[in-house]
Amino acid sequence: MRQILAVAAGLAVLAASGCSAPSPPRADAPPATPAGPATLPAPTGDHPVGTTVLHLTDTSRPDPWDLDADARELKVTLWYPTEQRDGQRAPYMTAKESELLLKGSGIASAPFDTLSKTRTNAVQDADPVGRRRPLVVLSPGFTKPLSTLTSLAEDLASRGYVVAGIDHTYESYATTLSDGRIAECLACDSDTDPGFGAGLVQGRAADVSFVLDQLTSTGKHAGLIDRERIAMVGQSIGGASTMAAMVKDPRIRAGIDMDGTTYARIPKSGLSRPFMFIGSREHVPGGNDNSWDRDWKLLTGWKRWLVLSGAEHQSFTDTRLLSDALGIKPLPGVLPAARAAELTRTYVAAFLDQHLKSERQPLLEEPSSRYPEVRFCPAACDES
């Protein structure tokens, strides 16, 4: 079903399934004066963060969206601990990527190159430090580049994780390929087709398995990664793809779906590996989306279902952190951007620390007075 893209808080807010179409900015969120370049919140872990970009080509299959391409090209961004504190900070995105994202999302309240000026915290191409670190794969929402999960990626890397973020080519408004070509959203032409979501997540699951093959083989980064400790986290359709990838690939030991309607069916025998849903009020039990109700019954291992009061679909990404830079006023009652980022980072890291580092996390056992916005479902969860 074609979902409607609501530009709430002046930003492109995807519907729960991640399929979208642009709509005009809401009248109750008038533009403000742009506040200058955005700066992502500092990572909270002990390590400085490095980052580098890999361009990988899967010659075993054609591209599902470009019918003229007999191989699948992917851009993968790695974040990792480093000892290097000084150096050039990595770009958030290029000016052209910023332009295509803002145009595609229907945002015209600031210059189109605005997001390319966002300040990150990771040192570009810094040398990694350490060996056999746990790996976290990140997958973004439909039409959104992987860069919209940069704040989460930097924070996890500062806590000792290697993070591999995948730009799923032709599924976002702009992905820059190895030769400088800009791959735009070919998949956007098909998002009303029957079975679109199910097909999309299966394609992303194939992307993930290929990337894991490449990163854990004898290549440059293989020694950095512990192939026995791999998890995946995704937002929107990326969260749905986490479920699909786990069903397909047993190397993924644990997964998180951040506010994404799920499409991949879990076998009747169930999925016994740890899984966490974390979402907005759209995903309360019995709410507008019933896919989590369906899948909850088939999660047979450790599981959690968390809902954040006041969160919206993009609260789990950088998108709301960029509102001021775009000159957009947030809507009343929406969880403040800095708090949403703090909650997302805290609970994602707790889940990963427990299941990849074997560090028990009391935070995941019951509600916390420090984080009253977080409700544990289905037992203590309602739409209020």
CATH number for the domain harbouring residue 74: 3.40.50.1820
Any domain includes 39: no
Any domain includes 40: no
State the total domains in the chain: 1
Any domain includes 315: yes
Q: What is the pLDDT of residue 255?
A: 98
Q: What is the pLDDT of residue 383?
A: 47
Question: What pTM value is reported for the model?
Answer: 0.91
Q: What is the pLDDT along the chain (384 residues), one digit of tens a residue?
A: 333 333 333 443 333 334 433 333 333 445 556 667 899 999 999 999 999 999 999 999 999 999 999 999 999 999 999 999 999 999 999 999 999 999 999 998 899 999 999 999 999 999 999 999 999 999 999 999 999 999 999 999 999 999 999 999 999 999 999 999 999 999 999 988 999 999 999 999 999 999 999 999 877 788 999 999 999 999 999 999 999 999 999 999 999 999 999 999 999 999 999 999 999 988 888 888 899 999 999 999 999 999 999 999 999 999 999 999 998 888 888 999 999 999 999 999 999 999 999 999 999 999 999 999 999 998 767 544
Any domain includes 384: no
Any domain includes 35: no
User: Which residue range(s) make up the domain with 156?
Assistant: 8-30+47-377
Any domain includes 60: yes
Any domain includes 196: yes
Any domain includes 1: no
**Would you give the distance in Å from CA 4 to the centre of its chain?**
19
Q: What is the pLDDT of residue 12?
A: 38
